[in-house]
Amino acid sequence: MGVPQNGIFAFGTSAHGYFELDLAPGAVAADVVAAVADHLLSETSMQAVNLVAGFRPELWATVAPGRMPAEVTGFTEPVVGPDGFTLPATQHDIGVWISGPAPDAVFDGGVEIVTALAGKAVLVAETMGWSYHRDYDLTGFIDGTENPKQSEAPSRVLVAPGEPGAGGSVLLLQQWAHETADWMSLGVTDQEAVIGRTKADSVELDDRPATSHAARTDQDEYGTILRRNTAYGTVLDHGTMFVGFSATRSTLHAMLRSMAGLDGPRDALTRYTRPLTGAYYFVPSVDDLGVVATPDR
């Protein structure tokens, strides 16, 4: 298997930054991809933080044909449920996730990547995130309960050996705003019905509602993903950065369609959270980044 970008599995960090960039006018795609690869593979850069970078699937496929799973495409159209609930498509060319021990380290890492891509790509969106009580979502529930064990995660969410893009992964990056006042007005029992798990210890309810988040994103039905979500924002404006990795785009997109109510009832959690963005990025292996990097850099 190709060696994955190690930041995908680097747990324990408390500060996070999410940076999305578009190619600058007149920029050559191969030069931009090479600049990102050079930065990630640098021995001296980003030592204080973990950096994960992905590309709009169509961009990566153009620069590295044969190193992209065939079914992976960008988030080019919104997902619209039968009642009009919409998961927006806000696809960009490059997605970068930086995690580290403190906000200043993440900030410095963001400045580094933007500087490295000056004249080649333009920063168009950024969000700073943070861990909420280590493993919790802002709803007060434990997040990522169904994540595969860390020892098993690479074999579950990376493209398999021998396949195009082996060792890479598909990243779904979304920003979800929380309607906290509405959520907090619910009692614990009602909140548990929305999530489909107990709040105290994240045990799945025996009689979970079909509308529960656990039911609408059941990995036994849709496939395995690795959630690396964090909180973002302030008391006035806050929510969740969804950071989901999978070996296939279809797994992630099937969950989104399910949440929107396209193959059953709409996910009850979407009554209390609003998706603001949505993009897919292919996160190549370190081996494939080496292929597109500047020779003798």
| Residue 88: closest CA among 279, 282, 281 | 279
Strands (E), 45-109: 50-55, 79-80, 86-87, 94-100
279: alpha, beta or left? (left if phi > 0; alpha if psi -120 to 50): beta
Report DSSP state, residue 247. Answer: S
Which string of DSSP letters, residue by residue, matches 194-209? HHTB-TTT-PBPTT--
| 76: Cβ contacts below 8 Å, ≥ 6 apart | 89, 91
Query: Which tokens hold the place of 181?
Result: 């006042």
- Any catalytic annotation for residue 143? yes
Residues 103 and 109: their CA atoms lie apart, in Å, by: 10
Choosing from 22, 93, 104, 143, the catalytic residue is: 143
Going by C-alpha positions, the residue among 197, 224, 200 that lies closest to residue 208 is: 197
- Residue 246 makes CB contacts below 8 A (sequence gap 6+) with 157, 169, 170, 172, 223, 224, 225, 226, 252
Catalytic residues: 143
